[in-house]
Amino acid sequence: MSSERPDPDLLLAKVEREQAKARRGRLKIFFGASAGVGKTYSMLLAARERRATGIDVAVGLVETHGRKETAQLLEGLELLPTRTIDYRGTWLREFDLDGALKRRPSLILVDEIAHTNAPGSRHPKRWQDVNELLNAGIDVYTTLNVQHLESLNDDVGQFSGIRVWETVPDTVFEQADEVELVDLPPDELLVRFNEGKVYLPEKAERAIKNFFRKGNLIALRELALRQTADRVDAQMQDYREDHAIRDIWQVGERILVCIGPDGLAEQLVRAGKRLASGLRGEWIVAYVETPRLQRLPAEKRDSILAILRLAEQLGAKTVTLSAPEIGEALINLARERNITKIVMGKPTRRGWKRWLLGSVVDTIIGEAHNINVQMMGSSRAHPAETELVVSGRAPPPGLKAAPEQKHKRRTRGYLLAVVVIALCSVVAEGLHGKFELANLVMVYLLGVVFVATHFGRGPSILASILSAVAFEVLFVTPYLQFTVSDSQYLVTLGAMLAVAMVISNLMANVRSQAKVAAHRERRAAVLYAMSKELSAARSETEILRTAVQHIHAEFGSRNVILFPDPTGRIQYPTDTILSESVQGSDLSVAQWVFDHNEMAGRGTNTLPGSELVYFPLAAGNNVIGVLALLPVNLRRIFLPEQKKLLETFISLIVQAIDRIRLAEQAKRSSVQMEAERLRNSLLSSISHDLRTPLATIVGSASTLVERNHVLRTKDRLELSRAIHDEALRMSNLVGNILDMARLDSGMAQLNRQWVPLDEIIGSVLTRLHKRLEGRSVVVKLPPGSPLVHVDPVMIEQLLVNLLENAARYTPEGSPIEITAEFGPFSVSISVADRGPGIPKGQENLLFEKFYRLQGERAQSGVGLGLTICRAIVEAHGGHIYAKNRASGGALFSFVLPFNQAPPSVDLEEESKP
């Protein structure tokens, strides 16, 4: 018995676990200025205290670096097993995220949140592991050094000369529930360092020794203290807000950081971040791509992309604009988003150039009246060097540009330039002598203009030089000699070069703008086409097919859309596979994406090792599925404009699916309402139609029982007849209701057989012999009486109902006709009467359940007869209809198809027995 009794401790633990699931875990960071200040030590002390209060503490990963004091503190704490990964021959010890999630302690210790995981781990960075632990409701203690903070990385690099590659986004630090500063004065730290109590990785020993200079340590300490102070300040503000202390009305600051393709971009982003967190404002990083910038080499564009992603990680919103004029675009953006501060680099143009051509900065300062503009100069001697170093974050694999294919085209341009100038020379030769030399120059100018408009700058320069040379050699005396002594033709050469440059530049701009416009138009067209098809789609399958095909067409990626089963587990699709579908998607990744509403897979920060990219199919927080793509080229997905397009696609798809699902839900509920209505009318109908005969039966029977002694034989007979008739009527009624229930529930199985139609009709007429007495029933059957492939019992019931109906609604003695016509694979049977006909407009209503012609209450029957007829005909795959005959009366007709040829019968020879 005792084994059945739940252990209270276990129960309590279970309740706690469930509560933990419901909330997000708390993150506490032990924050220090540098290695050696005692963060891990403090963390372990705090953990022991927590454990002493009965909290379930486990150590996920703690580096003691051989320090005795630290190791001692670990004693008695539960150490979770770590994962070892073989990375190029060395064994790396890594935190085991899945193990920890499975073990699910209340509090887990994970040292060094800035750590980069070994390749092949779920997340590239440990802070992402920590995030997942928090999401699972587990509290986490971790440690962090100030120089690992993303936004400070740059500053620390500047004064210490050492850049760390392992960084943590500032958001992690900001969102931490608690930050405990572990502080040690620089002098004491140096003492510890000299005593060898500070762990140093062996490889970088010398560099790090350099790092441990007093000046550095002071600066680092200041940074750490300031960072903590900022946090405390922010907490104070939150507190004031929470407690409605609003003595100061603060207008939310919005900062716009404008970056260009130069090396300043990264610094600008970090500065923007600092400014934004200092002002506690929102910030936007914008990059304006002018036609000129679009022609930058792919590596440069990738580095800009990487910086934009860095900005996103630092918490900024990013915007990429395509516009011809940077200044104007930025001003518009600033107005649109209510920007209060703009951060940008110092103008690159100086002196007369700036005066003559203007600069973006001047445009903005001139136009933005209510906006503060902050400018930043390059602090480095060689800003160009930093261009591609985005704090160690190389563009994700596959994001690098594909090898340029333009080389061939360019060669062709140069060749054609030569050909064009040769042609010009031929033409000019023809004109030579008849016209002035100046006119011949025009021929060449025409050639140069042609080359410039068609093949761009390089070929046009070649063409202008060739023209000058050809002109000089061919037409300027002495013929066929190259002397530039005739200096006046140098002017010709110069003019031609200038024309070539101007036109080719103009053309290049026009071309790229045309390209951009075409791009946009195409994108709009693509979106339009898809949304049109999606809104025309009638089912989820159709939507999915449309979606998969369009995504494939636009992004060149085979893809698949995965949905969860009712329990929330992502499943493989069951629909037919399209040629655009991708197979072999990883369900566990998809599940992660579905649960976290974040993208994962190749080119992202989560499970970048997978082959596919997974996007949550979500509108806001409502995730309905996962889109998995097999990218041909990651650029086609991750370039900002492409990604935005994909997001638009996704939201369109989600909307379309939502629409269909809502429609289905509405349909279901209307079906339910209809069922409800039917049940009600069934109840009222049955209660009326069953109670009436019952009343007669009970009344008559009670008279027979109680008044037996006074009843005359004639009365007794009369009462008995009443009981008999009413009982039969009830029996019919119940039979009809049962038939309907059987047909409705699908329990009635069709038992098709080959039957001569006259047998069925004969059987019906025999059954209704009494009911049809005194009427002429004419049966018109084609001779030979072909076989029909039907369920004979059901068809008999159908005909009985139709004939009973005719008998009920037509005057006594009026004729009824039964006609049958045969098609090759069907039979059409009609029952026609000479009654009053069907009221106009009610021809189809007749077949509805419980429908009765108005004012027919006195007639017996619940109004199920024709409904049963329709159900029987539909079970046979046929259809039934009613109409009025031109010559008066009603006609009910039904067609029954049969999909088999009649069976062969070997009939015997006719012979005498």
Partner 1 sequence: MAISDPVIVVIEDDPQMRRFLRTSLGTMEFQVYEADSGQQGLVEAGVRKPDLIVLDLGLPDMDGVEVVRALREWTMLPIIILSARSAEQHKVDALDAGADDYLTKPFGIGELMARIRVALRHSANNSEHAIDQVFTTGELKVDLARRLVHVGEHEVHLTPIEYRLLSTLVKHAGKVLTHRQLLTEVWGPAYVENAHYLRIYMSQLRQKLETDPTRMKYLLTESGVGYRLKA
Exposed / middle / buried, residue 803 (Cβ in 10 Å: 0-12, 13-18, 19+): buried
User: Considering the complex, what minimum distance in angstroms separates the CB of residue 866 from partner 1?
Assistant: 19
d(CA 471, CA 66): 83
Residue 681 to residues 542, 687, 846: CA-CA distances in angstroms? 38, 10, 15
Maximum CA pair distance of the chain?
156
List, in order, residues 6 or more apart from 151 with CB less than 8 Å away. 170, 270, 273, 274, 277, 314
Interface mask toward partner 1 for 234-273; x: CB under 8 A: ----------------------------------------
Nearer to partner 1 among residue 395 and residue 693 (C-beta):
693
Q: How far apart are CA 881 and CA 866, in angstroms?
A: 10
The answer to whether the beta carbons of residues 694 and 730 sit under 8 Å apart is yes
DSSP H or E stretch at residue 617: strand 613-619
Q: In this structure, what are the phi and psi dihedrals at residue 734, rounded to the nearest 5 degrees? A: -65, -40
Q: How far is the CB of 764 from partner 1 (least distance, A)?
A: 9
Q: Binding mask 56-85 vs partner 1 (x if CB under 8 A, - otherwise)?
A: ------------------------------
- Cβ-contact 831, 817 below 8 angstroms: yes
Smallest gap from residue 911 Cβ to partner 1 (A): 6
For partner 1, the closer CB: 338 or 731: 731
Q: Which residues of 427-465 are buried (b: 16+ CB within 10 A; e: fewer)?
A: ebeeeeeeeeeeebbebbbebbbbbbeebbbebbbbbbb
For 99-151, give the DSSP string.
HHHHH--SEEEE--TTPBPPTTSSSSBHHHHHHHHHHTT-EEEEEEEGGGBHH
Give the residue, chosen from 66, 433, 478, 913, that forms a contact with partner 1 under the rule CB under 8 A.
913
Count CB atoms within 10 A of the CB of residue 53: 7
**186 token code pair:** 């620089």
User: Which residues neighbour 814 within 8 Å (Cβ) at sequence distance 6 or greater?
Assistant: 775, 833, 834, 835
CB of 554 to partner 1, least distance (A): 59
Residues 659-678 that bind partner 1 (CB under 8 A): none
* 763, 826, 828, 884: which one binds partner 1 (CB under 8 A): 763
The distance of closest approach from Cβ of residue 738 to partner 1 in the complex, given in angstroms and rounded to an integer, is 7
The pair of three-digit structure tokens given for residue 125, joined into one six-digit string: 């960075």
With residue 553 as reference, give the H or E element that holds it. Answer: helix 540-555
CB of 760 to partner 1, least distance (A): 8
- CB nearer partner 1, residue 671 or residue 741: 741
CB of 571 to partner 1, least distance (A): 41
The site map against partner 1 for 846-885 (x = CB under 8 A) is ----------------------------------------
Closest CB to partner 1 among 155 and 739?
A: 739
Q: Does 822 bind partner 1 (CB under 8 A)?
A: no
Amino acid at residue number 556: G
Question: Residue from 86, 676, 758, 773 that binds partner 1 (CB under 8 A)?
Answer: 758
Question: Rounded to an integer, what distance in angstroms lies between the CA atom of residue 665 and that of residue 32?
Answer: 56
The answer to whether 326 touches 333, Cβ cutoff 8 Å, is no
Extract the runs of DSSP E, i.e. beta strands, from 249-371: 254-259, 282-289, 317-322, 341-345
Rule CB under 8 A: which of 774-803 touch partner 1? 779, 781, 785, 787, 792-793, 796
For the bound state, the minimum distance from the C-beta of residue 749 to partner 1, rounded and expressed in Å, comes to 10
Site string for partner 1, 879-908 (x = CB under 8 A): ------------------------x-x-xx
* Residue 97: φ, ψ to 5°: -65, -45
The residues, ordered by sequence, that sit 6+ positions from 610 with a Cβ below 8 Å of its Cβ are 586, 589, 600, 601, 602
Q: Shortest gap between Cβ of 745 and partner 1 (angstroms)?
A: 13
Q: By CB under 8 A, is residue 756 in contact with partner 1?
A: yes
Tell me the closest approach of the beta carbon of residue 912 to partner 1, in angstroms: 6
Under the binding rule (CB under 8 A), the answer on residue 817 touching partner 1 is no
Tell me the closest approach of the beta carbon of residue 626 to partner 1, in angstroms. 51
| Residue 177 found at the interface with partner 1 (CB under 8 A) | no
- Cα–Cα distance for residue pair 460/440, rounded to 1 Å: 18
Element (H, E) at 61: strand 57-61
Q: Is 156 in the site for partner 1 (CB under 8 A)?
A: no
Question: Residue 374, Cβ neighbours under 10 Å: how many?
Answer: 14
Residue 418 engages partner 1 in binding (rule: CB under 8 A): no
The residue among 68 and 912 lying less far from partner 1, judged by its C-beta, is 912
Counting contacts by CB under 8 A, is residue 32 touching partner 1? no
Calpha distance 579→427 (Å, rounded): 56
Nearer to partner 1, 79 or 738 (CB): 738
In whole angstroms, the minimum distance from the beta carbon of 763 to partner 1 comes to 4
| Tokens standing for residue 333 | 């953006």
Q: What distance lies between CA 540 and its chain's CA centroid?
A: 14
| C-alpha radius of gyration, the chain, whole number | 44
* Residue 766 touches partner 1, criterion: CB under 8 A: yes
Question: Least distance (Å) from partner 1 to the CB of residue 708?
Answer: 15
Q: Which of 539, 753, 776, 844 is in the footprint of partner 1 by CB under 8 A? A: 753
Q: How far apart are CA 223 and CA 155, in angstroms?
A: 9
Handedness of CA 579, 585, 587, 593 (dihedral sign): negative
Please say which residue, 199 or 754, places its beta carbon nearer to partner 1. Answer: 754
Minimum gap (Å) between residue 805 Cβ and partner 1: 19
Task: Give the residue with the Cβ less far from partner 1, 578 or 765.
Answer: 765
CB of 713 to partner 1, least distance (A): 16
Minimum CB–partner distance for residue 758 and partner 1 (Å): 5
Instruction: Say if CB 223 and CB 156 are below 8 A apart.
Output: yes
Residue 762 Cβ, how far from partner 1 at the closest point, in Å?
5
Which residue, 298, 277, 301, is CA-closest to 289? 301
Q: Single out the residue of 178, 262, 744, 759 in contact with partner 1 (rule: CB under 8 A).
A: 759
Nearer to partner 1, 361 or 806 (CB): 806
Residue nearer to partner 1 on the CB measure, 602 or 729: 729
**Other beta carbons within 10 Å of 750:** 11
Write the interaction track for partner 1 spanning residues 703-742; mark x where CB under 8 A is met and - where it is not: ---------------------x--xx--x---x--xx--x
Cβ proximity to partner 1: between 436 and 910 the closer is: 910
Nearer to partner 1, 610 or 797 (CB): 797
Q: CB–CB of 269/285 below 8 Å?
A: yes
Q: Does residue 755 bind partner 1 (CB under 8 A)?
A: yes
Q: How far is the CB of 793 from partner 1 (least distance, A)?
A: 4
Minimum CB distance to partner 1 smaller for 373 or for 793: 793
**Interaction between residue 484 and partner 1 (CB under 8 A):** no
By the rule CB under 8 A, 324 interacts with partner 1: no
Size of the site for partner 1 (CB under 8 A): 36
- Positions in the binding site for partner 1 (CB under 8 A): 724, 727-728, 731, 735, 738-739, 742, 753-756, 758-763, 765-766, 779, 781, 785, 787, 792-793, 796, 903, 905, 907-913
